[in-house]
Structure 1
Amino acid sequence: MLHFLTRTNKTAEVDIEANPFRPGFGQTPAILAGRGAVVDDFERALATAGSRARNVLISGARGTGKTVLLTEFESIAADNGWTTMILHTGASSLTEELRESIVDRLRANDPDAETSRLVGGGASGFTASREVVDHYAGERRPLGALLDRLAALCRDAGGGLLLMLDEIQSVDPEQLHEITQHVQDLVRHGLPIGFVAAGVRTGVDDLLDHDKTTFLRRAHRVELGSVPVSAAIETIRQTVADTTRSITPDAAVLAGDISRGYPYLIQLVGARAWESSGDADTIEREDVSRIRIEVIAEMIRNVHGPALRGLTRRKTDYLLAMVTDAGPSRVADIAERMGVTVKYQSVYRARLIEDELVRPAGTGLVEFALPYLREALLDRQSGGPLANADDDVRRPRRRS
């Protein structure tokens, strides 16, 4: 069963003809294709005391919607009265950033953050002075105690505390261990606490191999990838249907096929088809057909270009050895084209699987893991006419 999650299009309240698709990385689309069940599970976990599903580890390749899902979780938490604290991997110290953020929250929300005491008075009793005491200044309280107090206040307000972290593969495992240990302590104390993190799959897998990431290994794992093309078609159709325009069935099917179910491409194809239709009331098949090359060019620039730029020569040779095959490649053929043994090619096969550029496609077979990677390699061989193409090559259709 396919699940769709629809979010209110705030922009549409101002301009109903605004493009409803959001192809930028990290931007939350109006409809999350195929992610409704994941979001429903998380919302149920927030309402269920002690649920392990409040701790979620999201992984996936670039463009599969990790940051988008984090944003959706944050919105769901807010709707359910939970307080969210977002940690940043770029901070020099993750634990210090968390401490400072908690102290700021406690100073603003803890009724016992400040007290006053009498420090002097006149002999007649008509004059007196009082001193305001800031209980979160001066001597540093342990991080665990601060978290405990904040989580208790969140509970008393009818919600809970959610910690969120993106790009988790970049975090110092020692600091991550300290924070997750405190989270486990709060769980044992029966306080409403959740921890949601996201990162690229290979980095997450490496992190989970660390001996101090036991907590993460027990978290609810969500692995993101492409969705069925049927889900992509329905997402595009429904997104347009929520506006004053419409899209013909064959145009929606073609758009879904071009996207190949890759979340970033679903939004990109939809956005470019919308622009291609100009001011027409209906998006036609021709509007979608004319933006195919442009979409592939944007995919090459924004996704494949950065991924291919840092590859070693031997990894690149491996990928180029696959280009001549219309479908999955035989590892024996790849080895022959590279001039190496099958055993030797397996080293680079494994490394490219870790890089999420290829994937197994059956016994003795591999295939490209991302849409249009073959086209990106061919474009690179020919000097990059697509990667270097002008961004604005569309000529929108106008009403006749």
Structure 2
Amino acid sequence: MPNPFRASFGAVPPFLAGRDLVLDDFEAALDHGPGAEGRATLVMGARGTGKTVLLTEMEAIARDHDWQVVSLHTSAGSLLEEARTQAVEILRDLDPEATRFRATGGSVGSIASLHGEVVDQYGAPALSPASTLSRLTTLLGADTGLLFTLDEVQSVDLEHLAAFAQIYQDLVRAEQNVAFVGAGVGAGVRTLLDSPKTTFLRRARRVEIGMVDLGSAAAAIQATVAATEKSIDAAAAVRAAEISCGYPYLIQYVGAQTWAHAGDADEILLEDAEGAREGAIAQMATNVIEPALRSLAARKREYLEAMLLDDGPSAVADIATRLGVAAGYQSVYRERLLDDELIRPGERGTVEFALPYLREALLAGRGRDAEAAPLASGVRARRTRGPRDRR
């Protein structure tokens, strides 16, 4: 049987854990008509928390309500031109006047003798993006609508976003049935919102997503297996959820590895779930943590290293002492790491690691650094001893 888990970024899993409320609110916004809260939504979260998956599910909900969807991309040369191009494809299917016959000659009053050409209303010369989108939303009417989506919104060109926002707001003012959902990394989105060109996004409803509760994670794992010919022991599903830490990307990865460890067995057992832990730690380090740490400022990395001395949450006062700085000075890096979503606040003046297995990755990195110096020294020593050994 093929593995039913979707252990890759952006792939929609068979069962989505812990996002029902967000999706229900979005569906309600589509039903409530123009101007409803949630018609403009920003989904924010760290890498691997399922932003792209949630965006895809919102698109599916819109299509289930007979809405049309225009998926925009930050890599596009122009958001408006991309929107116009996709809108034209929709119009060619929906508009009864997309093509029409234009007479170019023949006898007046004699249909049989007329001759002419079929004209594409949406061919050259092209309608402007504003005219095209206005035509489409007018044609769709009150019973359906048009959803725009934009993933990785933190990477968008501000000039392109401002131009798109102007036309989108014109459609909203005209009480057309339109909606917008953007998704992006929390820290990047917050920086984007500081720009005067993003007033439109500042008014959007913000949905911050992160870990899901372990009960929902276990239920998703159980439901995924139950849809196949295999079964999973309840303790195995719970353990797989615990290993995933409720991190959406890991729910799928641990589920996939648990399935793989079971091999051809009809039932997935606790030891199969246990066998997924080592791979989960390595996978998080490679795909999530190392990219996040690669461009991290040295002082912020030192802050994380100072937290390693504690088994659990770290007191911010202790971190300041370990770094040799004043308490107020450590708060600067604390806030920056909170924005990076690498740490989160704990109770009573403490912080803790926000990403699963970040501690393990930092400890492993420290171990590699400790081994590197002796290894380099050993290599030089062997090169020096070689000639004497040969003599």
- Say yes or no: TM over 0.5: yes
1:44: Cα distance to partner?
2.3
- 1:279 aligned to 2:289? no
1:136 aligned residue (122, 125, 147): 122
1:29 aligned residue (2, 9, 13): 13
1:184: Cα distance to partner?
2.4
Residue 18 of structure 1 corresponds to: 2
- 1:82 aligned to 2:67? yes
Inter-partner Cα distance in structure 2 for 1:76 and 1:240: 24
- Segments of 5+ residues of structure 1 without an aligned counterpart are 1-16, 386-400
1:150 aligned residue (130, 136, 152): 136
1:376 aligned residue (331, 336, 361): 361
| Amino acid aligned to 1:26 | G
The structure that is helix-richer by fraction is 2
TM-score normalised by L of structure 1: 0.86
Residues 176-325 of structure 1: pairs in structure 2 closer than 5 A: 176-325=161-310
- After superposition, the C-alpha distances for 1:107-152 in whole angstroms (9 at most, x for unaligned) are 4432223333332236997744324433334445342221111112
1:40 aligned residue (21, 24, 29): 24
| Amino acid aligned to 1:27 | A
Q: Could you say what secondary structure the match of 1:52 adopts?
A: coil
| Amino acid aligned to 2:215 | S
Residue 93 of structure 1 corresponds to: 78
Inter-partner Cα distance in structure 1 for 2:2 and 2:118: 53
Inter-partner Cα distance in structure 1 for 2:250 and 2:291: 17
Q: Could you say what secondary structure the match of 2:265 adopts?
A: coil
Residue 398 of structure 1 corresponds to: none
| Amino acid aligned to 1:338 | L
1:238: Cα distance to partner?
2.2
Residue 159 of structure 2 corresponds to: 174
- Segments of 5+ residues of structure 2 without an aligned counterpart are 371-391
Residue 361 of structure 1 corresponds to: 346
Question: Using a 3 Å threshold, how does the CA distance of structure 1 residues 247 and 124 change in structure 2: closer, same or farther?
Answer: closer
Inter-partner Cα distance in structure 1 for 2:176 and 2:15: 33
State the superposition RMSD in angstroms. 2.2
TM-score normalised by L of structure 2: 0.88
Inter-partner Cα distance in structure 2 for 1:187 and 1:313: 46
Question: Using a 3 Å threshold, how does the CA distance of structure 1 residues 140 and 299 change in structure 2: closer, same or farther?
Answer: same
Q: Could you say what secondary structure the match of 1:197 adopts?
A: strand
Residue 334 of structure 2 corresponds to: 349
Residue 147 of structure 2 corresponds to: 162
Question: Using a 3 Å threshold, how does the CA distance of structure 1 residues 366 and 132 change in structure 2: closer, same or farther?
Answer: same
Taking only the aligned residue pairs, the percentage that are identical comes to 53
Inter-partner Cα distance in structure 1 for 2:28 and 2:328: 48
Comparing 96-105 with 53-62, greater Cα deviation is found at: 96-105
- 1:327 aligned to 2:319? no
Question: Using a 3 Å threshold, how does the CA distance of structure 1 residues 259 and 275 change in structure 2: closer, same or farther?
Answer: same
| Amino acid aligned to 2:137 | A
Q: Could you say what secondary structure the match of 1:383 adopts?
A: helix
Inter-partner Cα distance in structure 2 for 1:120 and 1:236: 69
1:174: Cα distance to partner?
2.9
Inter-partner Cα distance in structure 1 for 2:178 and 2:190: 24
Inter-partner Cα distance in structure 1 for 2:250 and 2:334: 26
Q: Could you say what secondary structure the match of 2:76 adopts?
A: coil
Question: Using a 3 Å threshold, how does the CA distance of structure 1 residues 124 and 91 change in structure 2: closer, same or farther?
Answer: closer
Inter-partner Cα distance in structure 1 for 2:65 and 2:340: 37
Q: Could you say what secondary structure the match of 1:33 adopts?
A: coil
Inter-partner Cα distance in structure 2 for 1:127 and 1:292: 79
Q: Decide which structure has the larger Cα Rg and report it.
A: 2
| Amino acid aligned to 1:57 | L
